[in-house]
Amino acid sequence: MRVVFDIYKSLFKMNQFKIFIELTRLNKPIGYMLLFWPCSWGLAYGLNFNQVFENFFYFLILFFLGAVLMRSAGCIINDIIDVEIDKKVERTKYRPLASGKISKIKAFFYAAIICLIAFFILIQFNLFTIILGLSSMVMAFVYPFMKRITYWPQFFLGITFNWGVIMAWTSIMGSVSTEILVLYTSAIFWTLGYDTIYGVQDITDDEIIGTKSTAIKFKKNIKLFVSMCYLINVLLLIFLFKTNMENILFTTLLFIFLLSLVYQIKIFDINDPKKCLKAFKTNNYSGLILFVAILTISFKL
């Protein structure tokens, strides 16, 4: 108990609070927004079948809070596991654990406290959604090991990061359907594309260290690979929403979503990490656009 008390006490010191923010990446909202948008898609799509609007807005808030918390906990666990790797990568060597600003024990307790808060949010949903949520925690904590054993850690991230699509759907509908699995698969390819762009920033360091990524595997044809990922993403969306294409507002927004992906492919440069980061961050807008597009169907706009 003394250790827990000391951790709480240190958190309220300004310097320690700054370290906590850096550790959880709360100063970089793109991470938790990319975790949240798929949840919002699942909720918005579920609303099309179950017009319970009061649950929709309440659940939207819960999923947002859950995304912030779980992304924060995931970052801490990732840094604990990758501390030795992070020390060797230019982009990550100044992270709190890698630079020695915080101990592994204190970081672990932060993660445990955050997970406990996230659990209290999770139990607001039905039993099936709770079970799905607990299983997602396992996937989140396994993900950091993927780069050590496969060139496809981005694919595993897609499976993990977009689990919220299914959870959001089941929170409203109570069961899984073919339609939501199509949306989930589409989201996986979206993540596979944008995280490959993100991985370009670390290609040089990763090759020296020996860690793997799709950015390394496809670096000679990386724009083609990302283009194929985004193409599959869009084709699955068109297949899923083919009966809604007569809705001009929806179709226009889906086209804008497509343009946002094309824009990313156009601007990212394997030799320019800043352009890769800019393209990656564009996905926050892409996620928002698709959310609004699905809402136009559910709200019959």
Q: Is the pLDDT of residue 241 over 70?
A: yes
221 by Cβ neighbours in 10 Å (0-12 / 13-18 / 19+) ranks as: exposed
Q: What pLDDT is stored for residue 5 in this prediction?
A: 52
When pLDDT is averaged across residues 79-102 and rounded to a whole number, the result is 83
Q: What pLDDT is stored for residue 35 in this prediction?
A: 95
Q: What pLDDT is stored for residue 10 in this prediction?
A: 54
182-224 pLDDT tens trace: 999 999 999 999 999 999 988 888 888 888 999 999 999 999 9
22-45 pLDDT tens trace: 888 989 999 999 999 999 999 999
Whole-number Å distance between alpha carbons of 169 and 261: 25
Q: What pLDDT is stored for residue 278 in this prediction?
A: 95
Using an 8 Å Cβ cutoff, are 168 and 61 in contact?
no
The total domain count for the chain is 1
Q: Is the pLDDT of residue 12 over 90?
A: no
Which residue in 185, 83, 199, 86 sits closest to 151, CA to CA?
A: 199
104-136 pLDDT tens trace: 898 889 999 999 999 999 999 999 999 999 998
Q: What pLDDT is stored for residue 181 in this prediction?
A: 97
User: Three-state secondary structure along the chain?
Assistant: CHHHHHHHHHHCCHHHHHHHHHHHCCCCCHHHHHHHHHHHHHHHHHHCCCCCHHHHHHHHHHHHHHHHHHHHHHHHHHHHHCHHHHCCCCCCCCCCCCCCCCCHHHHHHHHHHHHHHHHHHHCCCCHHHHHHHHHHHHHHHHHHHHHHHCCCHHHHHHHHHCHHHHHHHHHHHCCCCHHHHHHHHHHHHHHHHHHHHHHHHHHHHHHHHCCCCHHHHCHHHHHHHHHHHHHHHHHHHHHHCHHHCCCHHHHHHHHHHHHHHHHHHHHCECCEHHHHHHHHHCHHHHHHHHHHHHHHHHCCC
Q: What pLDDT is stored for residue 140 in this prediction?
A: 81
Q: What pLDDT is stored for residue 143 in this prediction?
A: 86
223, HSE (Cβ side, Cα atoms, 13 Å): 12
139-190 pLDDT tens trace: 888 888 898 899 999 999 999 999 999 999 999 999 999 999 999 999 999 9
- The neighbouring-strand residues paired with 272 are 269
What sign has the CA pseudo-torsion 134, 170, 176, 159?
negative
- Calculate the alpha carbon distances from 151 to 42, 145, 154, 199, 214 in Å: 29, 11, 8, 11, 5
Owning domain of residue 218: 2-298
57-81 pLDDT tens trace: 999 999 999 999 999 998 898 888 8
The pLDDT-based confidence of 238 (bands split at 50, 70, 90) is very high
Q: Is the pLDDT of residue 8 over 90?
A: no
CATH number at residue 93: 1.10.357.140
Looking at per-residue confidence, does 170 or 5 come out higher? 170
Neighbours of 78 (CB within 10 A): 20
